[in-house]
Amino acid sequence: MDSLILHLDLDAFFAAVEVRDNPELKSKPVIIGADPKEGEGRGVVATCNYEARKFGLHSAMPISHAYRLCPHGVYLRPNHKKYLKVSREVMNIIKSYSDKFQQVSIDECYLDLSEKCHNFNDAKNIANLIKENIELKIGITLSVGCSTTKSIAKIASDYNKPNGICVIPPEELKNFLQDMDIIKIPGIGKVTKKHFIKYGIRTIGDLMEIPLHKLIKIFGKHGNRIWKIINGLERNHFRDNDYIRKSISKERTFYQDIDDIKTIISKLEELNKKIHIEIAKDGIHYKTITLKIRFEDFSTYTRSKSFLYPIRDLKKSMSAILELYNEFLNREKRVRLLGIKLSNLQICKRQLKLIRFL
């Protein structure tokens, strides 16, 4: 029997939690993100429910544009502590159905049912039980994809959203993928897609027509990975450790574009302090720090620095941030947004003195 993998994805998670906690919001467009300030806001949409998406709204959209499209929507600031608590409750329910469980973000995870089920019907029945259990106990919905590999299960979970189940056995794989845009493949985004278009590749069906050796010649190791995904030959690796966020970031969009260096440095220090307070609570250390800067013309740049060992050091991080910012000192443009991201995270419960010494 092939592997039986579920990908479970909570539907419009942040917005769904807010609607659950305030039933009056049901059937209304709910947008989580920055304050729109009646169309003058300068942040972005974090997420929105499906009622809001009917008006063309989506995550990462400028909040001012979202307000112009949907001025009658309900705009709420995110409550990350609440969302994390609900996420833990959901994940505890899901992982009770199998020992092989992997959480990959606050609102999605994988479950391996290969040792629990004999066929895809059994797996679909368990998916329905999970959905019913979460809706009853937590009060929100999720969508589930089921197939023989993690990547196909992830593509499938997006197919019948929201609140759906999509099962793709191996014999249905080609027909299922044939007409899909290549950005449905995990790891291929809008920027990467442009490279594929140069070779006349727009759909997954186009990729299926290209032999493995040619894909490797064009795209290298990435081509080999893609070929395995679309042919259902990807290996399923499940981490044993608990979910750790891939990165933690803080951003500040200014009400007015600024060019005063003292103000810019002050805001970077403020962001750096806030992000270190957050990671200290969970014992998180990091190896990479990234500066994000967006200018008045919306040109956006990121610059990163990695350390030799995981740190959690306010002064060292600030020194690295200023070093990264030096590249932009001579830009004759005002700054619209500043951001700091910590990545390559590790939970270090013990001191790292020995590592530093080595």
- Structure letter (DSSP) for residue 301: E
* Dist CA 20 CA 8 (whole Å): 19
* Dist CA 253 CA 72 (whole Å): 23
In the prediction, which pLDDT does 355 show? 41
Burial tier of 133 (Cβ tally within 10 Å: 0-12, 13-18, 19+): middle
In the prediction, which pLDDT does 242 show? 54
Cβ–Cβ < 8 Å for 91, 83: no
> Which three-class secondary structure state does DSSP give residue 174?
helix
Q: Which domains can be identified in the chain, with CATH numbers?
A: 5-9+83-230 (3.30.70.270), 13-80 (3.40.1170.60), 247-357 (3.30.1490.100)
Catalytic pick from 18, 51, 108, 234? Answer: 108
- Residue 292's DSSP bridge partners are 302, 339
* Dist CA 81 CA 30 (whole Å): 19
* Dist CA 24 CA 17 (whole Å): 13
Determine the longest span between alpha carbons in the chain, in angstroms: 65
In the prediction, which pLDDT does 280 show? 86
- Judge whether 51 counts as a catalytic residue: no
- Residue 44's DSSP bridge partners are 62
Pairing verdict, β 5-10 and 142-147: antiparallel
| Segments in the chain below pLDDT 50 | 350-358
pLDDT digits (tens, 9 = 90+) for 54-86: 999 999 899 999 999 999 999 999 998 899 999
Burial tier of 87 (Cβ tally within 10 Å: 0-12, 13-18, 19+): buried
In the prediction, which pLDDT does 240 show? 55
Token output for 65: 């544009």
Helix (H) or strand (E) holding 258: strand 247-258
- pTM of the complete model: 0.75
Cβ–Cβ < 8 Å for 9, 161: yes
